[in-house]
Amino acid sequence: MARTEGDSWDLASSVGATATSVAASRALASRGPDPLIDDPYAATLVEAVGLPHFVRMANGEFDDSHDPLFGRDQMREHIAVRTRFFDDFFATSFAAGVRQAVILASGLDARAYRLAWPDGTVVFEIDQPDVIEFKTRVLADAGAAPGADHRTVGIDLRGDWPSALRDAGFDPSAPTAWIAEGLLIYLPPEAQDRLLDNITALSAPGSALATEHMDAKALTGDWAKELSARGRRYGSDIDLNELFYSGPRNSAGDHLHAAGWQVNVLPNSKAYAANGFERPNDELSAMVGDSGYLTATYE
């Protein structure tokens, strides 16, 4: 179903299903005698959502296609690169003394539960109310406990989430580590800019932000259509062409730089190489150039 203004979702539909897909990939990469990452909660969450294709993926029960993007090893390596980047971002922020973290559009992200948070850290998670309620309940039923002062904020990021965040105890005078993983392309261009402006307004000196770096000109409807068609051949029924807001938009890096952030981009080729992997080389990867990951600091 195509996106509409003010639309909502659960973890089995629309944008929510993409969060389940990512969690299934994390579960897959956490399996086996030599796992690439360690997310002990991903499989439990995916099984609770109950979408058969992603349950099979989480359990490693699917045929290896040897596709440059959808093969078993390729999927494990991609999610390992992505997960390690955001995990390492938090670790770097902790080492710099930051003790306030915000996970935007947290979905089935279990970092509040699985990372070794320093004493005194407050972790805020923001997502749709039904998504927050589901994840909190499933993990509590599984006996999982957050490793920090964990505060959930159930609100749509297209609404007045800054007020809701402050109401939950967020301190705008303290440095904050923000992550926006797998989020920006699901926001309309003006909502993306508004989100980044709100982050800037809430960020004290010493704050940092991590997100994906995307070539805004390359992320066209054609790319989303081709990626979705490829995914359908291997069992996914997610239509990214209906979920992405493609078309003209500002580069997140340019927008943040203009707002006073120092921006660093890690291209995919270097991100893969840093983890000992080879970046996928096919026509879909070529369509988006050497996109990658962005880190910004606010001084």
Q: Note the pLDDT tens digit of each residue in 3-13.
A: 566 666 678 77
Cα–Cα dist 106/179, whole Å: 9
Mean pLDDT by 10 residues, the chain (299 residues): 61 82 96 94 97 92 70 89 98 98 97 97 96 97 97 94 98 98 90 96 98 72 67 68 72 96 95 92 66 94
Cα–Cα dist 35/27, whole Å: 10
Please give the pLDDT value at position 294: 97
Q: How far is CA 281 from CA 64, 68, 234, 289, in A?
A: 18, 7, 19, 11
> Can you give the pTM of this predicted structure?
0.91
What are the start-end ranges of the H helices in 208-263? 221-232, 240-243, 252-258
Domains present along the chain, CATH in parentheses: 80-298 (3.40.50.150)
Please give the pLDDT value at position 241: 63
Q: Note the pLDDT tens digit of each residue in 15-62.
A: 788 899 999 999 999 998 999 999 999 999 999 999 998 999 999 887
Please give the pLDDT value at position 1: 47
Cα–Cα dist 56/28, whole Å: 9
